[in-house]
Chains A and B, each alone.
Chain A
């Protein structure tokens, strides 16, 4: 069964600190893995997309890693800001005609001053 599991479910950190969010998946056949940021009351917005051959990708203070052998990914946030408070969703795409996406439940991050 295609599944995406994220940990932790929620996380509280102080402004300026770093954090790492985890994602494990069992999706086949694998196409790519994405991380989305979802602010409260808004739609998800893409942060990074990685294909099978990529093992790291950065977008500003966000760095995603992918280990396709162990089927694990992480999202590292550096020097957190209050605006980083959001849910972070790991999404894995299976190959197929309509670009099927399997969504994780997300990690809810709260950055406190």
Chain B
């Protein structure tokens, strides 16, 4: 299993540009999450999904959109990039049912908006 994969690893955007961060998992997990990690801060939840076709906002959803058409994929869309969206983005997946509700993280995408 590849686990959780993210592309691209790095990206530089100009203000106002759009892009999609890709996330895929091959563990058949029903839960998927997008987080952002700013320097010196804890990870913040942007959006999450409990299954294909179901998404909901997390703590910091403004400026982002998601979709979940399949169990495997959970792309994150930035429509009008702003400097405040400069961050490292992590996708995670998990399986509901066991006590731990473990989450598995991808390697991250480092995004710079200038």
Contacts of A49 in B (CB 8 A): 100, 102
Tally A residues with Cβ within 8 Å of B: 23
B106 touches A43 (CB 8 A): yes
Tally B residues with Cβ within 8 Å of A: 25
Residue in B48, B50, B102, B107 whose beta carbon sits within 8 Å of that of A46 in the complex = B102
Contacts of A41 in B (CB 8 A): 107-108
Total of A-B residue pairs, C-beta within 8 Å: 52
Show the binding face of A for B, using Cβ within 8 Å: 4, 31-32, 41-46, 49, 51, 89, 93, 97-106
* B82 CB, nearest partner CB in chain A, Å: 23
Query: What separation, in Å, do the CA atoms of A100 and B57 have in the docked complex?
Result: 12
Show the binding face of B for A, using Cβ within 8 Å: 4, 31, 40-45, 48, 50, 56, 90, 92, 94, 96, 99-108
A42 touches B107 (CB 8 A): yes
B40 touches A105 (CB 8 A): yes
Query: What separation, in Å, do the CA atoms of A81 and B4 have in the docked complex?
Result: 27
* B37 CB, nearest partner CB in chain A, Å: 8
Query: What separation, in Å, do the CA atoms of A49 and B102 have in the docked complex?
Result: 8
Contacts of A51 in B (CB 8 A): 99
